[in-house]
Amino acid sequence: MHPAIIFTIIPLISALIGWFTNHLAVRMLFRPRRPVRILWFTFAGLIPRRQAELAAKIGETVEKELISHRDIHDVVTSSRFRDEILDTIISRIEEFIYVNLGSSPLVALALSGEAAARIRQLVRDELARTLPGVMEELFEKVESQIDFKEIVRAKIDAFDLARLEGIVYNIAARELRAIEWVGAVLGFLIGLGQVAFLMVWSV
């Protein structure tokens, strides 16, 4: 075979090998999904093999860095949230009274004009006094019942790998293809280096 053909084929074959190895590496993130035993070796995709460990680590990170019980506490004890709760409770009380007791003349008289405003203010003041303690109790119950780390861990650990693979490839398709083409380019450059070495060696 003519040397020029050989020197052309070497970089192309090297590029193909570089592309294929990176393509295989990308696919092996999720494949095989179940362990495959060949002789003394067991093969499994990186994500399937370490799904439980990844789930635990992500759960810890989410609870530590993204959301925690302290975040919930800050929301439920904020003055804005308290005022919204107060308005909602008072509205529901008024709605209940008007719907169920509004037909009574005495109730209608008591709920008219200044009397209604005074009653509303008394109810609001009492709720404003007791609501912070109620919200603290509610938060303590929520804190004892909700484990963000465990919720995230369980969700990820139970996540369908085929669906997860599809999501990852849809989101990062361009980047994953770039990794494959980088392998091809590097392989081609290595092939050119081999050609240069052979040319120098053959002189």
Is the model more confident about 186 or about 197? 186
Q: For 171-181, write each residue's pLDDT tens digit.
A: 988 999 999 99
Query: Is residue 86 assigned to a domain?
Result: yes
Which pLDDT score is estimated for 186?
A: 94
H or E segment at 111? none
Query: Is residue 36 assigned to a domain?
Result: no
Which pLDDT score is estimated for 178?
A: 93
H helices of 102-172, where? 105-110, 113-145, 148-157, 161-171
> What mean pLDDT is reported for the chain?
83
Which pLDDT score is estimated for 187?
A: 92
Which one of 4-8, 83-87, 152-156, 179-183 scores highest in mean pLDDT? Answer: 179-183
d(Cα 106, Cα 145) in Å, to the nearest integer? 45
- CB-count burial class (<10 Å; 0-12, 13-18, 19+) for 105: exposed
Query: Is residue 37 assigned to a domain?
Result: no
Query: Is residue 174 assigned to a domain?
Result: yes
How many of the other CB atoms lie within 10 Å of CB of 102?
A: 13
Which pLDDT score is estimated for 104?
A: 64
d(Cα 138, Cα 129) in Å, to the nearest integer? 16
Number of domains in the chain: 1
Give the chain's radius of gyration (CA, Å): 34
Query: Is residue 38 assigned to a domain?
Result: no
Q: For 116-172, write each residue's pLDDT tens digit.
A: 777 778 888 888 888 888 888 888 888 888 888 888 899 888 888 888 888 888 898
102 phi and psi angles, rounded to 5 deg: -65, -20
Q: Which of 7, 2, 23 is nearest to 200 (CA)?
A: 7
Query: Is residue 171 assigned to a domain?
Result: yes
Query: Is residue 75 assigned to a domain?
Result: yes
Cα-based torsion angle of the residue sequence 158, 47, 162, 153 in order, rounded to the nearest 10 degrees: 20
Domain that holds residue 63: 3-31+45-202
Which pLDDT score is estimated for 49?
A: 86
Query: Is residue 180 assigned to a domain?
Result: yes
Residue 51 has pLDDT above 70, yes or no: yes
Residue 17 has pLDDT above 90, yes or no: yes
Is the model more confident about 2 or about 36? 36
